[in-house]
Structure formats: structure tokens, C-alpha cells
Structure 1
């Protein structure tokens, strides 16, 4: 799957993308100003250090998984530059994700200078996002199962969770099968387009149809590559599991830093529901929705509300804002190298 190179648009697009993500990051930080004073006074900063280290590990795992998946499906590019590009774009996407648009766009623009076609970058990104979402819903199923078994869960709420759990398991199973079934993917794509045509304005249907078509093509390309070499799926899956495990570790240390270490089941229950709620909200980075959901589910499971709120806020700062700020020098180095390359022409 190849794509257009768009000539020389990259030099003009990059500064605008940087401006966009900086503004969005500022808005995200501003939204968290309330409670920062109390957070600073309550936090055990010695516990924040391992949270920061695990955050770095999580982002490295995401980036390595993305690059290894790209190589598995035939995207040929220098490994170290692509790893840095993945790291920067993931940091942007985690903070201000809106359907992956910001991270995908930045990744495509930066990778183009290393000869990676836009279509190849899109295929790699879409498949990685698909697998990541599968892992997210698998984690959600585990979180719902824990909440159902929790004696503190209200009976009516338990029945709702049981119904939701069946939907999640069904979605996970169908999505997993669609990865390798051309016929099932075609059925889902055509059904999705038909449903969108019936429910949405016509001007929205065409872009959605293109997105679904791109995803179908990317998954078809990946499934063909994995049929030829099944072992190629090993490292992307390993990095995916390590990423989610590291993210859970970050949340555990953030809660511990404000005074309340929690059990693994409670952690998985709160984290899984919050991540899916933030994803479904369609707000940049799930801002507000993810944090509120995380605090609410933790509180329902017995974590003091104040601790749950402060821990959620600390997690937002450590896991989302700090990596974004840390990657700005890396992004600047890309700009300097590009400027040097232009000067030598």
C-alpha cells in the first residue's frame, strides 16, 4: 500500500502541527490547574520517580511496537529515526488524541523524509491502533469481570455490568476474527457504511467510508504478511502487553504517591473503564472524561474520593503531559536537520 508524497508540503506543515499540539497541551494543562496546589502538598515525590521511569518505558514500548509492526508489514526505513518519530508522535497522540489524527499526521510528515510513503505510515498506524484497541477492550473485559465479582457492587449495577461484559467480549471476538477474515471485514465495512448513511448527514458518510476502506486495506495487508511469517507478530504483541502493564504501574505509583496504594483488581477495574470512557468521549486525550471516570470507579471500589481525584490528576500530568514536554527537543532536532538539508541543496 503506497501513498502520495505531496511534494514539499512537509516543511510548511510541521510548524503548524507543532503550534497545534502546543496550544492543545496548554489547554490540557489549564484544565488541570484546579487542585494542583493540593496535589503538590499531598504528593510523595519519591513515589513519582518510578512512575516517571515506567512512563518512559511505556512510551518506548509503544514506539518499539509500532516500528516492529511496520517492519513486519514491509515498511522499510531506518530503525532509530523511525523509533524517535514514533515516540514523538505517540506523545502527541496520547495528550491530544482525536481519533489518532494528530499523531498520524505528525508521524506521516516526519517519516516522509526517510522515504516512507504516507500510505505506508497510515497502514502501520491504523493496524497498531486496531491492535491497541483490541488490547484496551480485553483489559476492559477483565475490569468488568472484577467489578462484577466485587461484593461492594450494587446488584442493579452488577446486572448492567454483566450485559456490558457480554457486549465487550462479543466485540473483542468479532474484531479479532476480522483481522484475518476478508469476508467478515467486508461485511463489517459495508454494514458500517450503510449504518452511517442511515444515521449521519451525507457529508460525513464519504470521509467515514474512506477511513473504513483504509483500515480494511491495512488489515488485509497485515494479515497477508502474518500468514507468510506468523512469527512477525511476536514482538508487536509483546511490546503491546508491556506498554499496558507499564501504564498500570504508573497509575499504581501515582495513587501510592498521594497516600493510597490499591489492589491490582481495583487498579484494573478503574483504569480499564476510564481509558475506554476517555476514548469513547471523542474529546482530545479524553480530557476530563477519563480522569472523572477513573476517580469515580476507584471511589466506588473503596478508594477515598480525595485520593482517587488527586491520583487521577497526578496520572494525567505524569503519563500524558511530561512525555509531551520531553519530546519537544526531539521534535526541534528534526526541524534543525531538515533546515540543514534544505541549506545544502
Structure 2
């Protein structure tokens, strides 16, 4: 079954170069027609950043770094088995994942393939990497939806377009319910779920029925593991929440630095909605979408327009653009370090390097 999983992932990689070319073109177009006009209209964000105290910029970068680190700790919590890479290795893998996600349209799929390959080459079994990624993404999105719902209940009625927020809240609630229902089915009705996915896989022919069954079984085992280990589940929820709360705190610092102290609940509502919109695979990392949601929402909550624009764009420089070169360097360090050592041992022993237990 593991061979089936690898074969399916290799099929997805055949069009990688085409995706990269399309991605680079899309990034250029988005920067040209979305980002640059905003930068010009804001009166040059770089100049505004230069006027901020260095300590505030360092605080924002620190908050963003800890936010990303919490996601890597979450990766360690959801990975099953003993062959788990060290935290620093996972942190670099996640940074490399962000680089792809932020440079390719619909980058989530391509970055997931890159992340899967890096994890398996660092010693994680393919089925464990797939199930952990699924649980991590679904679980983190559920936590994000929960943060949105909590913020919506707190500030409902204070926003000028409350009916739109109510509609968004209803949609998020439905998706949240469907996700929880799917996890419940996997936990309590596994045989029926397996029959269903095998039948679907046989018709759509995107993934083989054997691979679909193996994937469902490993995800179900992951769900059962969390149900049997409440401490691990609690840690995963806290780490997922920290990922978003610290990221939103970075945005709050920039808004405060430009002269407006936002309500935490209102900021979290705007941030979580923009983050949910960014999940749509339309632009790299939600580029343009996040800004288009955040700026008017913050303005609707009373943030001066120029502060909303400067704050959001400054935050995106740290949250979106900065991880791109950092992630490229992280990938290079992996290639020169643990991946290079694994590949060398693979040539010496005659195997490809995936699935080798390593720590780093």
C-alpha cells in the first residue's frame, strides 16, 4: 500500500515545472496589479516602517517567528510513530513549505507534495506523513473556524455590514459541522467509510482504491490516537490556536505602532475571516485576498483608513514576503545537511533515502 501512496504522489509531481512557471507568472501579475498599487497608495510602506521604533519591528518579527514555530511543534504532536524528525528540522521543512505556498497559485497542493517528500526523506513513513498532514490541516482550520466563531459572538452587531458576517458565520458553522462529522465517521464507522472511499476512488480514478483505503485507515488511526490521549489533543489545539493568535498579535503590533489600538476581538474577527478566505486556492498565500478583506473590515471597526493600509501591508511584509527567502535558505540548509546525508547513505546502501529514521 505504501508503494501505491508513493506512486500517486509521483504522478502529482509530473506537472511541477509547469505549475512553477504558471505560479511565477501569477505572482508577477498579482504584484503588478494588486500589491504595487496598494504600496503606492499607502505612501510607501518601507518609508513608514523606517519611522517605527526598531523594538516594535523586532517584536513583530519575534511574534511571527514564534507563530511559525508553534505550527512546527504542532507537526511533532500529530506525527505518529517514533521516527519523528527533530523540531529544528520540522521548522525548516515548514519554512520551505511556506516558500512554495507563497509563490505558486493554489500553492497548498504543491507545497503539500514538497512537504510530504521532505518529511519522508527525513525519516517519516509515507502513510504517517499523509495522515499527519491531513489531521494537522483539518484540525488547524477547525481551530481557526472556532476562533472566528468566538470573535463573531463577541462583536456581533458592531460592524456596519453585520449581515455579511452572519452569512460568513453560518457558512463556517456548516463547514465546521461537516468536518467534525467526517472525523466522527472515521472514528466510529470506519468499515463503511472505507467502502465509500474505495467506491469513489474507483470512479474518479485520481487515486487508487488501495491508496484511498490506506489513507483513510491511517487518518482514522490518528483520530483514535488523539481520542485516547487527551493531553496530546489539548496540546495540539493550544498549538494550533497559538499559530493564529500570535500571527494576529503581529498585525496588532503594527496597527498600534501606526497609532491605533484595535480591540482584540474585532482584530481576531477580521484576521480569522481573512485567513479563511485565503484558504481558497486562487492566489499564492491569499495574496490580494487577505488585504482585500482585512483593510475594509478594520476600517469598518473604526481603524483610520491609512493606518489600516499601512498596518496590513507592513504585517504582510513580515508574514508573507519575509518567509519566502528565509524558507529558501531553510531548504538549502536541509539539502546541505540532513537530506544530503540521507541521500549519501542511500547511495551507499542502494536505497532512495525515503523512510530512513533520522533526527535533526
Give the TM-score taking structure 2 as reference length: 0.75
Looking at structure 2, the residues matched to 212 and 143 of structure 1 have their Cα atoms a distance apart, in angstroms, of 37
Compared CA separation, residues 164 and 209, structure 1 to 2 (3 A): farther
Q: Which of the residues 72, 86, 89 maps onto 1:63?
A: 72
Quote the Cα distance in structure 2 between the aligned partners of 1:38 and 1:224.
51
Q: d(CA) in 1 for partners of 2:208 and 2:258?
A: 46
1:283-294 alignment, distance < 5 Å: 283-294=283-294
1:42 aligns with 2:45: no
CA distance, structure 2, for counterparts of residue 25 and residue 60 of structure 1: 29
Query: Is the partner of 1:115 in helix, strand or coil?
Result: coil
Shift of 1:104: 1.4
User: What's the RMSD between the two structures over aligned residues?
Assistant: 3.9
| C-alpha deviation, 1:265, in angstroms | 2.2
Task: Please state how far the C-alpha of 1:330 moved relative to its aligned partner.
Answer: 2.0
Deviations 1:130-154 (A, max 9, x none): 001101211221343345231x52x
In structure 1, C-alpha distance between the alignment counterparts of 2:100 and 2:212, rounded to whole Å: 20
User: CA separation in 1, counterparts of 2:94 and 2:31?
Assistant: 21
Contact 1:94–1:320 under 8 Å retained in 2: no
1:74 matched residue in structure 2: 81
Give the TM-score of the pair, scaled to structure 1: 0.78
1:173 — aligned with what? 177
Residue 197 of structure 1 corresponds to which residue in structure 2? none
Q: Any residues of structure 2 matched to 1:193-272 within 5 Å, and which?
A: 205-207=204-206, 216-272=216-272
Between stretches 48-57 and 229-238, larger displacement belongs to: 229-238
Aligned equivalents of 1:91 and 1:21: distance in 2?
A: 17
Q: Name which structure has the greater RCO, CA cutoff 8 Å, separation 6+.
A: 2
| Alignment match, 1:198 | none
Go from structure 1 to structure 2 and tell me whether the alpha carbon gap of 1:59 and 1:22 turns closer, same or farther (over 3 Å shift).
Answer: farther
Counterpart-to-counterpart distance in 1, 2:207 and 2:302: 42
Count of matched residue pairs: 326
Alpha-carbon spacing, 1:236–1:304, altered in 2? closer, same or farther (3 Å): same
Is the alpha carbon distance of 1:214 and 1:289 closer, same or farther for their aligned partners in structure 2, counting shifts above 3 Å? farther
| Structure 1 gaps, min length 5 | 195-201
> Deviations 1:164-192 (Å, cap 9, x if unpaired)?
433433432342343233367867x969x
Secondary structure of the corresponding residue to residue 176 of structure 1: helix
The 1:81–1:313 alpha-carbon spacing in structure 2 relative to 1, beyond 3 Å, is closer
Could you list the per-position Cα deviations for residues 80-133 of structure 1 after superposition, in whole angstroms to 9, with x for gaps in the alignment? 464234432442365247262232122122222233233321211111000011
Moved more, 24-33 or 169-178: 24-33
- In structure 2, the residue matched to 1:106 is 114
Deviation at 1:242, TM superposition (A): 1.4
Output the CA distance in 1 between the equivalents of 2:87 and 2:81.
Answer: 16
Q: 1:32 aligns with which of 30, 35, 39?
A: 35
- Tell me if the contact between 2:99 and 2:325 (Cα under 8 Å) persists in the aligned partners: no
- Between the aligned partners of 1:330 and 1:342, the Cα distance in structure 2 is 20
Which is further off, 266-275 or 256-265?
256-265
What CA distance in whole angstroms lies between the structure 2 residues aligned with 1:67 and 1:273?
27
Q: 1:180 touches 1:220 (CA, 8 Å); kept in 2?
A: no
- The worse-fitting range, judged by mean Cα deviation, of 324-333 and 163-172 is 163-172
